[in-house]
């Protein structure tokens, strides 16, 4: 199995410099990763480095806490598209979900999807903070709001992706949404298991290690 077309080559550390982002882009070209995932401030830099490649550019919105206003997230998403993003990875408002206000979650996702049109929207539900019922509610809200992807984690919470969470997501998403597993994916065996469970993207900063281990 070739992992390269599943990998969102990711660099979201707060200390990442423009030089680090440029290096990430060049690595993505070299290894033919499907996408990079970077902070919005570096979109135009990434666009210039990747302009003659097929690598998609994903960025994060409402990241990593998700507690910004819907208006702020919508503005951020529109701004990101203007500056070259192909895909938006948004964080839901976790507190509103935990308060049981699934309408708020659904309406916010729908507003961002409307704002970005045909561009890809991935909804980060941050599974590590949620009960089983809350995970199900978040997935259903994303489905009803016509998001393109469910995504497990920011990588900045108390835990990352798990096989159990991906199974739950797949059960709700069916073939209507895709799934991105993110957080803690550091070896080839784990990556393959996620793909076998139905994941179509892997958010990882260990992408080079994953693909070079398959060549050895």
Contact (CB, 8 A) for 110 and 142: no
Query: Of these residues, 89, 113, 122, 165, which one is catalytic?
Result: 89
Which is nearest to 35 in space by CA: 100, 116, 103, 120? 120
Catalytic residue status for 114: no
What's the CA gap between 16 and 10, in Å, rounded? Answer: 11
Q: pTM for this one? A: 0.97
Query: Of these residues, 56, 135, 151, 170, which one is catalytic?
Result: 151
Phi, psi of 71 (to 5 degrees): -60, -40
Cβ atoms within 10 Å, residue 114: 13
Q: Which residue has the tokens 């994941």?
A: 199
Catalytic residue status for 180: yes
Name every residue whose Cβ is closer than 8 Å to that of residue 88 and which is 6 or more positions away in sequence.
Answer: 58, 59, 60, 61, 77, 80, 81, 112, 116, 119, 120, 121, 122
Task: Supply the pLDDT for residue 98.
Answer: 98
Q: Is 14 exposed, middle or buried (0-12, 13-18, 19+ CB in 10 A)?
A: exposed
Low-confidence ranges of the chain (pLDDT < 70): 214-216
What's the CA gap between 51 and 195, in Å, rounded? Answer: 29
CATH of domain 4-215: 3.20.20.70
Catalytic residue status for 193: no
Which is nearest to 61 in space by CA: 104, 10, 112? 112
The full set of domain ranges for the chain reads: 4-215
Query: Of these residues, 113, 122, 135, 180, which one is catalytic?
Result: 180
Task: Supply the pLDDT for residue 213.
Answer: 83
What's the CA gap between 187 and 62, in Å, rounded? Answer: 28
DSSP one-letter code for 119: S
């Amino acid at each position: 199995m070739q992992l390269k077309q599943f990998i969102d080559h990711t660099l979201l550390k707060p200390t990442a410099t423009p030089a680090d982002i440029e290096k990430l882009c060049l690595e993505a070209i070299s290894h033919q990763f499907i996408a990079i995932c970077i902070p919005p401030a570096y979109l135009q830099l990434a666009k210039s480095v990747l302009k003659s490649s097929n690598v998609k550019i994903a960025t994060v919105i409402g990241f990593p806490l998700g507690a910004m206003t819907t208006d702020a997230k919508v503005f951020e998403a529109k701004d990101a598209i203007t500056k070259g993003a192909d895909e938006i990875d948004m964080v839901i408002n976790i507190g509103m979900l935990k308060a049981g206000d699934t309408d708020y979650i659904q309406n916010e996702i729908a507003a961002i999807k409307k704002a970005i049109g045909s561009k890809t929207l991935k909804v980060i539900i941050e599974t590590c903070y949620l009960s089983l019922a809350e995970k199900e509610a978040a997935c259903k809200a994303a489905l009803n709001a016509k998001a393109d992807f469910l995504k497990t984690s920011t990588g900045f919470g108390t835990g990352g992706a798990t096989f159990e969470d991906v199974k739950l997501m797949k059960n709700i998403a069916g073939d209507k949404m895709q799934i991105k597993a993110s957080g803690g994916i550091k070896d080839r065996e784990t990556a393959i298991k996620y793909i076998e469970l139905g994941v179509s993207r892997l958010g990882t900063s260990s992408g080079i290690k994953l693909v070079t281990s398959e060549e050895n």
